[in-house]
Each structure stands twice: as structure tokens, then as C-alpha cells.
Amino acid sequence: MRRSYLLLGAFSVLLGCNASPPQDCAVANAPKRAIECLDRNAAKSEREQLLACFPFAEPERMKGVWVIGLEHSSFVENAKGYSPSLEQANDVWLYVDDAFRGKVERQSGPSQWLMVELVGRRAKCDGLWGHMGMSPKAVIVERMLSISG
């Protein structure tokens, strides 16, 4: 199941970059290369696969709201708190370690919003990230600095 999400993400990122992508989005012109890369890295974690196969920026500090739901993990940067409109926020898929996400869900339930401060890497290429490619942007969490709900 996880591989299907990665493959969907791979194809969407490949198709989502501009017709003349910047140098770091060269993978956009080589879908076969991305699939081969994911296959070579299949034994690695999702985070490691993404970092090995797609261009991400250097880690940076970010604050905002993490909206968690069934097959949903979005990040609304600079949001100061919850509002009903955040339930539909899908612009940035937040890739969080499965074990950490599971721990958070066990403590608070599967659907929630949390104020977070994190260190993360932004995807350099827009695409269709996350579950069913519902997010045009992505952030991989390197380290969660604070979390409150």
C-alpha cells in the first residue's frame, strides 16, 4: 500500500513540474528513472526513499497547524490555531514518521489538529503528493520540536 502512494507521488511529481523544469527538477523528464530509484530504495523508509529519489530543500524551521485525519496529513504553515477551513487544507502534505504519527493518533484519536514547530525539508518540485496525490506540495519532517493540541 505504501509503495502505491510513493509511486503515485513519483508519477505526479514527474508530471507536476514545469515544461522546462529547473535543474533540480530534471527527474520530471525521466519517469523511468524515478521508478527505478524507488525500486532500488524499496527496503528503506518512506522518508529515505523520497529523499533518495526526489529533490528536497535543506532543512528549515517551520511553525503551523498539522491536520491529521483518515488518510490525511496536511500542514498549514503560519496558522495560529484551528479553524473549520483547515479541515479542507490539502496544499502541503506533511510526511511524518509512521511510528510518531501512530503514537500521536493513539493519544488523541485519528482526526485532529495540532500546533507544531518542526524542522523539515520542502519538496523542490510541485506535484501530487500524499494520499491519492491530493497535495501539490510536500514537507518531510526531520525533527518535531514542539507539539500541542
Q: What is the pLDDT of residue 23?
A: 45
In percent, the amount of the chain with pLDDT more than 90 equals 28
The mean pLDDT of 23-34, rounded to a whole number, is: 65
Q: Are 131 and 96 in contact (CB under 8 A)?
A: no
Residue 37 has pLDDT above 90, yes or no: no
Closest to 12 (Cα-Cα) out of 141, 130, 139, 140: 130
Residue 69 has pLDDT above 60, yes or no: yes
132: left (phi over 0), alpha (psi -120 to 50) or beta: left
Closest to 135 (Cα-Cα) out of 62, 73, 55: 73
For the CA atoms of 15, 18, 21, 22, the dihedral, rounded to the nearest 10 degrees, stands at -130
Lowest pLDDT segment from 47-51, 85-89, 112-116: 85-89
Residue 17 has pLDDT above 50, yes or no: no
Q: Are 61 and 145 in contact (CB under 8 A)?
A: yes
The mean pLDDT of 22-43, rounded to a whole number, is: 72
Which whole-number Å values give the CA distances from 58 to 18, 48, 80, 141, in the listed order? 21, 14, 25, 12
Confidence category of residue 122, pLDDT binned at 50, 70, 90: very high
Distance CA 81, CA 149 (A): 9
Residue 104 has pLDDT above 80, yes or no: no
